[in-house]
Structure 1
Amino acid sequence: MILPCGSGGMFVQSEKFVEDHRGQLGDISIFGQESNGTTWKLCKMNLAIRGIEVDLGKEPADTFTNNQHATKKMDYIMANPPFNVKDYWNESLAGDVRWKYGTPPENNANYAWLQHMVHQLKPTGVAGIVLANGSLSSNTSNEGEIRKAMVDGDIVDCIIALPDKLFLTTGIPACIWILNRNKSNPDHRERENETLFIDARDLGEMIDRKTREFKEEDIEKIAKTYHSWRNKDGEYKDEKGYSKAAKLEEIQKQDYILTPGRYVGIKDEEDDGIPFEEKMQTLTKNLSEQFKKSAELEAEIRKNLASIGFGVK
C-alpha cells in the first residue's frame, strides 16, 4: 500500500523487487490513493501498461478526509508523502480515530501521515515512510509529544538518515521511518524497546551538480544492516559513525529526538600509519613556509600602495 501513490513509481519498483527475488506478482495485492486527478489517471496508465493490478479507489480523493481504503489493514506500507504539508487540515479530522498517539498540528501533516500509516497496518504490519528531517526533532504544536508516545509505544523500529540532493523534487535531506507493530515477533531477534539508527548521509555519489544517487551497494549495505539487526540469526554489531541499536532509556536521555547522528557518534579516523611527531613536524614546516609567504605578500602590497601615494603605517 502506498499513500499517496503519485504516478506509481514505487509500485513499479515493488514489482521489480518481487520479480528479482523470484516472487509471484499474483501473491500480493496493491492499494493506493491519490488526490490529484491528473496524477491519479497517470498512475493508472503507468501500471496498466506494465500489467500491474492495483486498487487506486473509485476516484481521486484526499487520504485524510476521504480514505477509500479505511477498512483495509496492510501487511506492508511504503510511502513518500509530500513533506511538511501546511493546508491539509479539515474540521472533520478533529478526534479522528487515527490519532492514537496525539492530534497532529493543523499546519504540518508529517505526524498525520505517520499515524495514518500505523492505523492502516495489520497487527503484524510494517511501514516505511520517507519524511523531512524535521520530523525527527520538531517539538512544535504537539509533535514532540506524539513522537514520545510513538517511541514509548514501541512502534518505531528504525530511523535512517539520508543525504541531501537524493530526490529530484527537493534538495533537502530526508529520512526514512520504519514503523513496526510487531517488534516482539518470535521469528525475529528480541528487539522490544529498542530502535535502530542508521546514518547514511555519507553514502551515495553526486551524478551531477544537483543530484545524488545511491549505488546498489549503498542500498544493500543499509538493507543488510537493518535485517541483520532485525533477524534472529543476524550478526548485527554497532558501527561507530554509521549505526547504533539504542534502548528506550538512551532515547529518553535524548528527549526523544530521533536524529541518528545523536546516537551513532562520529566515525573514527583511519590510521594512516604516520607517527604523530612526524605529522606535526610536516605541519609546522608547512605553516612556517606559509607565514613567510604571507609576510612577503604583505611587504609587496605595502610597497605598491606607497608607490601611488597611499602608504600604510
Structure 2
Amino acid sequence: MTKAARSKKKPELADRRVEDTLWAAADKLRGNMDAAEYKHVALGLIFLKYISDRFQERRQQAMADPEEAVLVDERDLYVGDNVFWVPESARWDYLKANTTSTEPTIGALIDRAMIDLEAENPTLRGVLTKNYARPELDQTKLGEVIKLFSDLAFRDEHHGQDVLGRVYEYFLGQFAIAEGKRGGQFYTAGCVVKLLVEMLQPFRGRVFDPCCGSGGMFVQSERFVEAHNGKRNDVSIFGQESNPTTWRLAKMNLAIRGIEANLGPKWADSFHEDLHPGLKADFVLANPPFNDSDWGGERLRSGDRWQFGVPPAGNANFAWVQHFIYHLAPHGYAGFVLANGSLSSQSVEGEIRRAIVDADLVDCIVSLPGQLFFTTQIPVCLWFLTRDKSNGLVRDMKLRDRRRETLFIDARDLGTMQNRTLKVLTDTDVEKIAETYHAWRETGGRYSDQPGFAKSSTTDEIAAQHYVLTPGRYVGTAKVEEEEELFNQRIKRLSATLREQMAEGVRLDNQIRQALAKVGYGW
C-alpha cells in the first residue's frame, strides 16, 4: 500500500451531516413504498441534481470567459469536458421554479426531464427512472424534497464526484439495510471491496465482474488507480448484471463518476446469456450471490465452462468459480467473495474444489470476520486464483515462483464494530492482510508464517487435509508467551507489593486523623 493510499482522508463529519440530511429529506417520500422501489426514486433525484449542478457549473465558467461565452449553448462545450448536456426542461432551477404547479404535477415534470435527458445523452438511454407521476408517490412531499435538495450543491474541487460518490454509497448502504436479504445481491461492504482491490492491485488491464450489482467493484478499482497516480484509461471495465433495476443503477452509479464501462446492451444472466463470451480478463473481481439455489443449473449440465466438473444444480458457488476461471487471461488474477461453505463442502463441490487445487489455481484464501455485511450473517471468505504462479512481473515487481503453494490467512479476529450489528475492516486491517499477501507473493518480500494468522502451505499439505481450504486448519494458533517467572516467585513479588501498599494506607490514615484533630474533629 502506497503512502498516498494510507494518507487518504476519511470524509469529514460535515460530509456525514450532508448525507444524513439528504437521507432524511429523501425518506419523506417513502410512505408505504417498498425499499426496493423507493431507492430508484431517491437515487434518481440525486443523479438529476448532480448532473444539473455540474452542467450549471460548466455553463457559468463559459459565460465568464469571453472566448467561450459565444459557445455557452453548444453541447460540444459540455460533452468535451465529460459533462452531460442538460436540456432546459431537466435543469434543477426549472424544476424548483415549478414545484408549486398543480398542472402538470412536479412528478410529470421530473418524468419529462428524465425522458429529455435520455434523448440528449445516448449513454443514459433506458437507464433513468421515469415514473415520478404515479399516484402512490405523494406529489406534495416530492416538491418539498426538490426544495430541500436545492439547498445543497454537489460540487467540490473534483467537480462533486468525491462528495456525490460518498452520498451514493451511503444511500446504497441505507437501502441495503432496508431491503433485507435482497440488498446483499447488489451491495458489497466497502471495506471488503477495498481489501479485494488492495490485494489484486488492478493498475492496468481488463477488469471484469459478471455479477456487478451497482458497480461497486469498478468504482473502487478506478479509485485505486487514481490514488496511485495511474490513469483511468489504463483500466478497461466489463460487467454484467441480471437484475434490470440494478443494471440501471450500475449505469447511473458509473456515469456519475465519469467511468466508462461495457455492461452489455441490456441486463442478462451470466450463466444463460454471457454478454462477453470471448473476454479474457486480467482481473476478475466479484461478489456473487451466496449459495444461490435458483440459478437454472438443471439447464446447464454441459459446456466449456465446466472444466473442473459440472456444478450441482442446487448451489451456484462453483458455477461462479468456474465462470470466473473461464474468463481469466493466461496471466490473470481473480478475487471474489464466497460463503465459507465453499471451503469445506463435500460431494460434487468437494471434487470440483479438489480439481481446481490440483490444477494449481488457488493462490490465497482469506477467512473474514463475521458481521461485515448489512444483509447477512453468513460467514464469508475471499478466494484469490491465478493461472500462473511461476516467475512473473506485476507493477515492475518480480514475483517469486509459487507453484504448488497456497497462502492461508485467518483474519477472523480483525475488524471493529461500527454499531451493534455491523463490523468493518479498518485501513490498518486491510493493510495487514494485503501486505502479508504481497510479501509472500513478491521476490524479496519479507514473508514469514505467523501462527494463528498466516501460513504458506504446499499442495501436498492441502491434499493431506482432504482439500479442505479453511485457513484455520493451516495457520494453527498464536503462540502463547512463556511465563517469565515461576508461580511461587510471582506470588512472593505480588505479596511484597501488597504489604507496601497496605503500609502506605496506614500512613495516610494517620495523616488524615492528625489533620482533622487540628480543626477539632479528631477521634
TM-score by length of 2: 0.52
Task: Give how far 1:272 is off.
Answer: 6.7
C-alpha distance in 1 between matches for 2:461 and 2:363: 15
SS of 1:196's partner is strand
Counterparts in 2 of 1:70 and 1:280: CA distance versus 1, 3 Å: farther
Query: Within 2, Cα distance between the matches of 1:90 and 1:189?
Result: 39
The one-character-per-residue Cα deviations of 1:206-235 (angstroms, maximum 9, x if unpaired) are 111110001101001111000111111211
- Contact 1:199/1:242, CA 8 A, preserved across alignment: yes
Residue 109 of structure 1 aligns with which residue?
Answer: 316
Partner residue in 2 for 1:122: 329
Q: Is the 8 A contact 1:2 1:78 kept in 2?
A: yes
Among candidates 398, 403, 408, match of residue 197 of structure 1: 408
Task: Say if 2:182 is the partner of 1:182.
Answer: no
1:139-160 residue CA offsets vs partner (Å, 9 max, x unmatched): 03x1010010000000000000
- Other-structure match for 1:78: 285
Equivalences for 1:1-313 in 2 at 5 Å? Answer: 1-140=208-347, 142-186=348-392, 187-271=398-482, 273=484, 275-277=486-488
Shift of 1:9: 1.3
> For 1:276 and 1:54, how far apart are their aligned partners in 2?
66
Structure 1 residue 93, shift from structure 2 partner: 1.6
- Report the TM-score, using the length of structure 1 for normalisation: 0.86
CA RMSD in angstroms, aligned pairs only: 1.6
Query: How far is 1:174 from its partner?
Result: 0.5
Larger Rg: 2
1:114 Cα deviation after fit: 0.4
Partner residue in 1 for 2:76: none
Go from structure 1 to structure 2 and tell me whether the alpha carbon gap of 1:91 and 1:105 turns closer, same or farther (over 3 Å shift): closer
- Identity within the alignment, %: 55
How far apart are the structure 2 equivalents of 1:3 and 1:277?
64
Bigger share in helix: 2
For the residues of structure 1 that align with 2:461 and 2:390, how far apart are their CA atoms? 20
1:275 is displaced (CA, Å) by 3.5
Structure 2: runs of 5 or more not aligned: 1-207, 393-397, 494-523
Measured in 1, the distance between the counterparts of 2:308 and 2:252 equals 37
Measure the CA separation in 2 of the matches of 1:209 and 1:74: 39
* Bigger mean CA offset, 32-41 vs 15-24: 15-24
| 1:290 counterpart residue number | none
> Which stretch shows the higher mean deviation, 38-47 or 15-24?
15-24
Q: CA–CA distance in 2 between the matches of 1:278 and 1:170?
A: 51
Q: CA deviation at 1:171?
A: 1.6
Displacement after TM superposition at 1:185 (Å): 3.0
